[in-house]
Amino acid sequence: MASAHTCNFANYGNSDCSANNTFIHLYNCNRDTSNHISSLQCSEKIPDKCLQFYVIPEALLILYRSGIFSIDHTTLQLKICQAHRDLLGIHWRRNKHSCCYPNHNEKSKAKPDRGTTPSLSKQYWLKTRQTIPVGSGLCKQCVTELRKDLCSVDINFEKEIEIFYQVQESSVDLKGIRTGCLTGGDLNELSSQFSQQSDYTQASSQDWIDAQLTSKERLNSAMKILSKDYEPLKHQLCLSWSSISKSSKSYYQKKAQAIFLILNIIAPGQETVLLNSIQTKKTEIDSTNKCIIEAYNKAANSRTQTQILSLIVNNFTKSELQNMIPGVTVSRVDAARKHAMIYRMKLTRPKIAHFIDYILNPLYSSIVGFGQTVLKLSTNEKLTIPKVVRNLIHARIINSYQTYCLETGFSSFSKASLYRILKVCNASKQKALQGLDNTSAAGMGAIDNLTKVVTKLEAYGLRHEDVNKLKEMLQLVNQFLKFEYKLHLRKNDQCADHCTPFAPSDSVDHNFATKCNHSHTQSCEKCKLVDSCVNIVEKAFSNLDIPKTLSDEISYELENGARNVLEWKRHLLRTVHQDGARNDVLSDLKDNQGLLIMDWGMKFLPFIYRETQSDFFGKKGISWHFSCLVLRSPIDREKLDLFCYVHILEDGSQGWFSIANILVHLLHEFKSEKPLLEELFLKSDNAACYHCTNLISFIQECNKDFPIKIKQYNFK
């Protein structure tokens, strides 16, 4: 409670009361707080009204900042000096420039961009019994977290202000009762008002009364609850222990036995053990630590001192280190601990493997047939890997991966972690598909040519609105085929265009068609748009009067564009379907089976010493054929072994006959080197030397005579 020389807010902060001993009641604090609240960006917005805010009374602001959230005549009768009125009122200032939320992430660099509103301050106090002063700085992330945590605590701030003004008027009337004369009816009416307000704020007033108890009163109150035999503490020790008498020492020693009462409640029967465990122990310095401390004291600069201190900084507390090494500061200890920090791998291996498998999918990454790159690990180890080209930008890959994880229920990393993984996984960005995927490159080129055709049509009478619609349609088709179509393809899909077994089927020849066990009742509007986009452009073209020469040119572009766009769509379908075949083979690969992947490399140009210009031109390249055999590892069945074979043909052509001879040679080599190998799966691209009737007929006729049987041939 306040004495004659201090106000009721003397315990707030470290400031003293005004020297003139002039106090006023809170209900007389009526300064305008609008500018103060606005400068702190903590205005309380009126619901459903744009840019309108409540006027916060000065007395209410002082109470909220001092941790008193009850509004009654008891609190408004409190006295306050001028110093604490300024400290808690309109002259209040933030004590730090960082976020004041107790649970703010220390690693976050977010700066406060708004202040704590009165309602938010009271909500936080009602839930945690902790105070965030009105106007304290909060960052955007903490405000969002606070509102989410406090959504269950409902505060009607308009009613709070209404009650405040009612209590303030009653407090003024109460002053009139004390200083003037009122009739008996007035007294009864005023008593009725106080009774109604007391019912609303009785619990909150008790919090204020408890806050004003002295430490001695709190101890006596608590010990009375814990033990009925405990005699209350009459007075506290204010003199030094050596200067008091024996009887006083005996009295305080007897009262100190309360410690064992509390320890007995915490650990029944083990009070002494618990007391010994919490007592401060003397830090023992061994010979190693003595040498480190001596080296620290003799260090020439602070950087070296920090490095030396980091050797022992995690073995002792800050206070122990300050006792062991005179002059060491807390900031130096923090710097040494930061220097000694051991980093661990926060990313779990299963999640990393899941993401790596996803980005290595041929839909998103392509391995170039030439060149290699060096991948440097965190251990400074260097790995030589084939050069990889990504077909999509990082943002689209991550968005696609997160959508996939959401659909499958897999918990993945944050976007920032995924970006870091992609940055570490070295790969080139795709700038041109020519040479990597000629079919897709032709399809994209067809979309560009069709867009140019639409632009030409505008000059011959096509309306500007129709031109924009056609361009948007072509752009939609381009984006759909580049990024979305491959993600929709799957087995047993109810959409005919997305069902990978059904979509490639021949509608005329039933020998090249597949029947599904499910019905195709759904349709895809974007797939229909891919099939009809050229017809829509052609319809707009047919209604215009265009010269014969230009008309023939546009007709050729439309015909060629329709063929390339549809071929692009079919190519994407075959890619996904055939890649599924490769995955099925690798997942079910037995010990006596292998997968052989074949492809031609870039021709090697021979050169001679001091080659002349005439010898350089017209040079004939040497063909290289690469064959990669994939087998199940005999040591670890979860791993696969890879064996590479190279055939060099100096005079031979890259035709089916060369492939047939290479295949026969490989089968005999495999049988001699790996006798257990009995069956082989073949995989190659759609080049004419592979995907032709001659080679397939040769394999079918001679398969019974091969030392290793060809079980399946897949093309990509």
Q: List the structure tokens of 360.
A: 């290595």
When pLDDT is cut at 50, 70 and 90, the band that residue 233 belongs to is: confident
Which residue in this structure is represented by tokens 């060629």? Answer: 560
Higher pLDDT, 423 or 702: 702
Nearest to 563, CA basis, from 523, 526, 524, 535: 535
When pLDDT is cut at 50, 70 and 90, the band that residue 212 belongs to is: low
pLDDT for 678 equals: 92
Q: List the structure tokens of 507.
A: 């509608």
**Euclidean distance between CA atoms 518 and 492, whole angstroms:** 7
- Taking 80 as the threshold, does the pLDDT of residue 194 lie above it? no
Higher pLDDT, 349 or 476: 476
pLDDT for 180 equals: 42
When pLDDT is cut at 50, 70 and 90, the band that residue 200 belongs to is: very low
Nearest to 371, CA basis, from 427, 433, 440: 427
Average pLDDT over every residue of 224-233:
76
Q: Residue 46 contacts by C-beta under 8 Å, 6 or more apart in sequence?
A: 52, 53, 54, 158
Lowest pLDDT segment from 70-79, 89-98, 154-163, 214-223:
214-223
Helix, strand, or coil here: 138?
A: strand
- Taking 50 as the threshold, does the pLDDT of residue 347 lie above it? yes
Q: Are 142 and 116 in contact (CB under 8 A)?
A: no
Average pLDDT over every residue of 180-204:
42
**Euclidean distance between CA atoms 442 and 322, whole angstroms:** 73
- Taking 50 as the threshold, does the pLDDT of residue 185 lie above it? no
**Euclidean distance between CA atoms 464 and 469, whole angstroms:** 9
DSSP for 381-419, please give it.
-EEEEEEEEESS-HHHHHHHHHHHHHHHT-----HHHHH
Percent of the chain residues topping a pLDDT of 70? 89
Angle of helix 58-65 relative to helix 118-128, nearest 10 degrees, comes to 30
pLDDT for 177 equals: 41
Q: What is the pLDDT of residues 353-412, one digit of tens each?
A: 888 888 887 777 776 656 677 777 767 788 777 777 777 788 888 888 888 888 888 888
Average pLDDT over every residue of 613-618:
74
Q: Are 88 and 99 in contact (CB under 8 A)?
A: no
DSSP for 229-250, please give it.
TPPPP-----S-GGGS-HHHHH
pLDDT for 485 equals: 85
When pLDDT is cut at 50, 70 and 90, the band that residue 283 belongs to is: low
59, exposed or middle or buried, with CB in 10 Å at 0-12, 13-18, 19+? Answer: buried
- Taking 60 as the threshold, does the pLDDT of residue 559 lie above it? yes
- Taking 50 as the threshold, does the pLDDT of residue 206 lie above it? no
Higher pLDDT, 366 or 515: 515
- What does the DSSP 8-state code read for residue 714? E
> At the top level of CATH, which class does the domain 589-715 belong to?
alpha beta
In this structure, the number of other CB atoms found within 10 A of the CB of residue 233 comes to: 17
- Greatest extent of the chain over all pairs of C-alpha atoms, in Å: 128
Higher pLDDT, 581 or 704: 704
pLDDT for 198 equals: 40
- Taking 80 as the threshold, does the pLDDT of residue 497 lie above it? yes
Q: Residue 386 contacts by C-beta under 8 Å, 6 or more apart in sequence?
A: 367, 368, 371, 372, 373
Nearest to 31, CA basis, from 53, 59, 3, 71: 59
**Euclidean distance between CA atoms 710 and 524, whole angstroms:** 39
Which residue in this structure is represented by tokens 């009768």? Answer: 77
- Taking 70 as the threshold, does the pLDDT of residue 317 lie above it? yes
Nearest to 711, CA basis, from 579, 578, 595: 595
- Average confidence score pLDDT of the chain: 81
- Taking 60 as the threshold, does the pLDDT of residue 677 lie above it? yes
pLDDT for 307 equals: 87
When pLDDT is cut at 50, 70 and 90, the band that residue 472 belongs to is: very high
